[in-house]
Structure 1
Amino acid sequence: MKLFLLVAVASAAVARPQYGYSPPATYRPAPAYAPAPSYRPAPSYQAPAKYDFEWGVRDSYSANHFGHNEDRDGYNTQGSYYVQLPDGRLQKVTYYVNGDSGYVAEVSYEGQAQYPAYHAAPSYSPAPTYTPAPVYG
């Protein structure tokens, strides 16, 4: 009986179906990419920076007026930026940096501050009253 049981377990293990199907491997060569053509030499980051830019926004609907400009040549930088303040003045900051001197800024204001009178609307209004119509009858 033990022998029969041993033979039955062994034959079940050998006859066990194999799960999982894998398709046969197909040959796919790796794509060959040509290097991108170079139109100009790579930039050298050893040279000092040199640039200038300017931008500004003037929106009459929202009364926004602000902007910035800057020029840089090596370690010498100069520029300014400005913003329209809520009180109506234009705040302008002019700055420069010369080598290791650090950031030197001068702040100026154009125009007069205006504070219009503010009248707060009542925050509570009573509910309308209801007058019932007369009943006849």
Structure 2
Amino acid sequence: MPVELFRLAEREGIIIEWWDFEPPLEAVYWAMPGLPPVIGLANSLDYAPRAYFRCVLAEELGHHFTTVGCRIPRTYFHYRDRMEVSRAEYRALRWAAQWLIPLDKLLQAFRRGIVEVWELAEYFDVTEEMVRFRLNLSDILMLRLAG
């Protein structure tokens, strides 16, 4: 279990619950004014690889830190609703990637010769998809342009 993420949730007053979600749903973040926020995690995540679980939980925490208001997906969307959900998902994933793979630690890994995606995934205990996403964020791209 990713203890550091559970501690962060506890400090933020976020309740974490385990539920029987129907696939492909694995996790949700829900917050309403006046109530403690809740992250619901699928019971199936208990059997997922640790790196995958860390990424899922970090993204849900990312919603807490980046999403304004309650964004609960509906079956039918207007285009503007789909765009807002996409932006909220991107912001949460960006927060997760930057929290799980901080820029200073990433640069240290590069200096140590850890440069392959799979090596970085093992080093940071995240998925390769999370590493690829992180390597495409603007702070990394700016370093590439400057270097």
Q: TM-score range by the shorter chain?
A: under 0.3
Q: Under a length normalisation based on structure 2, what TM-score does the superposition of the two structures give? A: 0.20
Instruction: Name the structure with the higher strand share.
Output: 1
Instruction: Name the structure with the higher helix share.
Output: 2
